[in-house]
Amino acid sequence: MKTMRKIEFDELQQSKRYRYGYQSFMLLAFLIMIDNVFYGLGIVWAQHPTNTFILLLTSFAYFISRSIWGDALVGPKETPAKVRTGVAVVVLIAAVAAVLAVGYISSHMNLKLSAEDGSGSLLTPYCIAMWAVIGIVYLVKKVRDNKMD
Amino acid sequence: MQLAKNLRLKSARAALDMSQKDVAEAVGVTRQTMNAIENGDYNPSVNLCISICRVLGKTLDQLFWEDENNENNEKN
């Protein structure tokens, strides 16, 4: 029977990931608390559940960026070629799925991609910005590592 | 507590003409982890210490035991 391949991290990477995970969780908890305080004061910067999604994405982006910066994103047995192939396959599948979904929705259903209250228009640029930040962190780290080597 | 640089590990590795990457691959950790151990930024587990010793053909005492003689040698 074929079992799911487990990504193995070394002990330093594991300890870093536990630390970053804890930090991300605390960040999320504090952001939600601050958001609730704003809501209580009558300041609504985004409708529910868009605000929660954005806070979740923020803590997710923090975890990924910290993992990249701390060399704890991929395990020692993952070669760069394997990682690149894996990422390329996932991005390709996601892109094809997105195009098919958008095509199907726009042609068969009378739905709008953005919510009536404009929440969708806030979430989309935020997602793009989040991936851009992760990409920039990755590039800066790569340049820094090359200089140090 | 800041650990001292492990120069004995570095010299044992250099004596075998191995890079940090070579040792890291043999032990099953990342090069950054080996670098952190050599620089004293990370205190490895006993299992990892034993693996490193096996790869470099040294004993735990020779690479990781800290006494006054070793500390003085590393400072000089």
- The answer to whether A144 and A72 are in contact (CB under 8 A) is no
Q: Closest by alpha carbon to B55, among B22, B10, B30?
A: B22
In a domain, A111, yes or no: yes
Tokens in use for B43? 């205190």
Verify whether the Cβ–Cβ distance B33 to A77 is below 8 Å. no
Comparing alpha-carbon positions, the chain A residue that sits nearest to B45 is A11
Tokens in use for A147? 């200089």
Tens digit of each residue's pLDDT (9 = 90 or more) over B11-65? 999 999 999 999 999 999 999 999 999 999 999 999 999 999 999 999 999 999 8
Tens digit of each residue's pLDDT (9 = 90 or more) over A15-54? 999 999 999 999 999 999 999 999 999 988 888 888 899 9
- The answer to whether B12 and B55 are in contact (CB under 8 A) is no
CATH superfamily placement of domain B1-58: lambda repressor-like DNA-binding domains (1.10.260.40)
Cα gap B10→B17, rounded to integer Å: 10
Comparing alpha-carbon positions, the chain B residue that sits nearest to A71 is B32
- The answer to whether A32 and A52 are in contact (CB under 8 A) is yes
In a domain, A4, yes or no: no
Cα gap A54→A123, rounded to integer Å: 7
Q: Residue A32's CB: how many other CB atoms inside 10 A?
A: 15
**pLDDT confidence of A65, banded at 50, 70, 90?**
very high
Q: How many domains is chain A partitioned into structurally?
A: 1
- The answer to whether A55 and A35 are in contact (CB under 8 A) is yes
Q: Where in the sequence is the domain holding A107, given as residue range(s)?
A: 11-148
In a domain, A32, yes or no: yes
Tens digit of each residue's pLDDT (9 = 90 or more) over A133-149? 888 888 898 888 888 76
Provide the whole-model pTM.
0.75
**pLDDT for residue A49:** 84
A109 in helix, strand or coil?
A: coil
- The answer to whether B6 and B64 are in contact (CB under 8 A) is yes
Q: Residue A62's CB: how many other CB atoms inside 10 A?
A: 19
Cα gap B13→B57, rounded to integer Å: 10
**pLDDT for residue A118:** 56
ipTM of the predicted assembly exceeds 0.85: no
**B48 and chain A: CB distance < 8 Å anywhere?**
yes
Between the alpha carbon of residue A141 and those of residues A38, A69, A71, A124, A133, the distances in Å are 35, 6, 9, 26, 12
**pLDDT for residue A79:** 64
What is the amino acid identity at position B46? Answer: V
Contacts of A13 in chain B (CB under 8 A): 30, 33
**pLDDT for residue A26:** 97
Comparing alpha-carbon positions, the chain A residue that sits nearest to B42 is A12
In a domain, A5, yes or no: no
**A78 and chain B: CB distance < 8 Å anywhere?**
no
